[in-house]
């Protein structure tokens, strides 16, 4: 199990400028402590919890202050306001600056505020993302690119620069629905299973959909056989009482924000699955019940983190991505250090792929 860090520039209690500087320092510490990857989501118009609207600009500064940690956008939105060719250009530039440490996770967005602001027809986001992935791959590889699609048309051109990693940096998609997990497998993409709160059974459904999707198109190359899981709220402390005292309010606030988001999107075509959040409203003020239901919230001691990570590994997860954000800079540094020193050495490895092989054969959990 690999352990990564995900942050979204939550500047509650500080300024946006200060939070950006804090994140650079926090990921530099995570790099030294053996965290596998760091990333942000690309979000627009959603302060104070989400403030990173131009991730590659921030990543350039992070690249100069780190040495080994993978830098992965989670996720760059592939709809009409974000041209795939320009995403390819920025990704290749970041791959060069980071000396081949860049990975690109894509998505179609489930943020109604952003989609409405940019006048994106919500019913078409899945179709736009599908076409965008095709154009993105070709922008990375074609010496001379032309493209005539439904949503994007590109006249004859040479896209520069080209990335260091060949044929291009590993590609994945942030997925919440079972359907998108299956599409990721079929298209040879890695997947970051994201902020659903839907529970352990839902995780198993998503992993199996990814496996079945991969089996349906076994010849797709290059294939990024990666499965990450996004933990919406993570905080580790020496005692359970300290962890809850610092993280409980933030965890419940973030959960309620996701409930509002999902409730507003679930009536739209291809986002109906979000209605599954409604039964969880009974847990909106009960962090312990929420934690029993889902690993989307992990708050507790190093031993609790290790136990939960091993359970996720048994489901076929390669990497767990911890959202450590919104607790204050000194608390962030404290929990990052504790995870790096007492959790990561006890879970480090790459068994997730083997577990998924067992699942495919019907021998796993």
What domains lie within the chain, and their CATH numbers? 2-361 (3.20.20.30)
- Mean per-residue pLDDT, 17-33: 98
DSSP state at residue 280: G
Banded model confidence at residue 357, pLDDT cuts 50, 70, 90: very low
Phi, psi for 160 (deg, rounded to 5): -135, 150
- Mean per-residue pLDDT, 142-167: 97
- Mean per-residue pLDDT, 148-168: 97
Phi, psi for 290 (deg, rounded to 5): -65, -40
Banded model confidence at residue 154, pLDDT cuts 50, 70, 90: very high
pLDDT of residue 290: 95
pTM greater than the 0.85 cutoff? yes
- Mean per-residue pLDDT, 29-42: 96
What Cα–Cα distance (Å) separates residue 232 from each residue in 41, 252, 307, 346? 12, 10, 18, 22
Phi-psi map region of 270: left, alpha, beta (phi>0 left; psi -120 to 50 alpha): left
| Cα dihedral across residues 149, 85, 116, 5: positive or negative | positive
pLDDT of residue 266: 86
Residue 364: pLDDT above 80?
A: no
pLDDT tens, position by position, 273-300 = 889 988 888 889 999 999 999 999 999 9
């Amino acid at each position: 199990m690999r352990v990564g860090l995900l942050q979204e520039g939550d500047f509650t209690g500080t300024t946006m400028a200060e939070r950006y500087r804090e994140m650079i320092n926090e990921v530099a510490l995570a790099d030294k402590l053996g965290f596998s990857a760091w990333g942000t989501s690309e979000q627009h118009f959603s302060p104070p919890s989400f403030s990173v609207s131009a991730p590659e600009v921030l990543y350039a500064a992070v690249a100069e202050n780190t040495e080994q940690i993978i830098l992965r956008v989670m996720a760059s939105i592939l709809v009409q306001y974000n041209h795939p060719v320009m995403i390819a250009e920025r990704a290749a530039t970041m791959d060069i600056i980071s000396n081949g440490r860049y990975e690109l996770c894509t998505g179609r967005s489930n943020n109604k505020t952003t989609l409405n602001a940019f006048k994106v027809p919500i019913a078409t986001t899945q179709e736009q993302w599908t076409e965008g992935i095709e154009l993105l791959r070709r922008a990375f590889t074609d010496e001379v690119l032309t493209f005539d699609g439904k949503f994007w048309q590109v006249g004859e051109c040479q896209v520069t620069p080209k990335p260091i990693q060949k044929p291009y940096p590993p590609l994945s998609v942030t997925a919440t629905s079972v359907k998108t997990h299956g599409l990721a497998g079929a298209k040879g993409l890695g997947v970051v299973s994201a902020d659903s709160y839907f529970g352990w059974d839902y995780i198993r459904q998503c992993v199996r959909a990814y496996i079945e999707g991969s089996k349906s198109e076994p010849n797709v190359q290059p294939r990024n056989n990666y499965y990450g899981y996004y933990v919406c709220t993570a905080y580790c402390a020496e005692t359970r009482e300290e962890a809850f005292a610092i993280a409980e309010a933030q965890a419940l606030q973030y959960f309620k924000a996701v409930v509002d988001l999902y409730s507003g999107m679930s009536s739209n075509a291809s986002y109906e699955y979000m209605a599954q959040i409604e039964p969880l409203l009974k847990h909106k003020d009960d962090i312990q019940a929420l934690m029993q239901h889902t690993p989307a919230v992990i708050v507790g001691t190093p031993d609790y983190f290790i136990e939960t990570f091993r359970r996720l590994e048994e489901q076929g997860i390669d990497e767990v991505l911890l959202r450590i954000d919104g607790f204050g800079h000194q608390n962030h540094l404290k929990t990052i250090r504790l995870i790096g020193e007492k959790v990561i050495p006890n879970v480090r490895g790459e068994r997730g792929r083997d577990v998924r092989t067992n699942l495919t054969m019907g021998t796993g959990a």
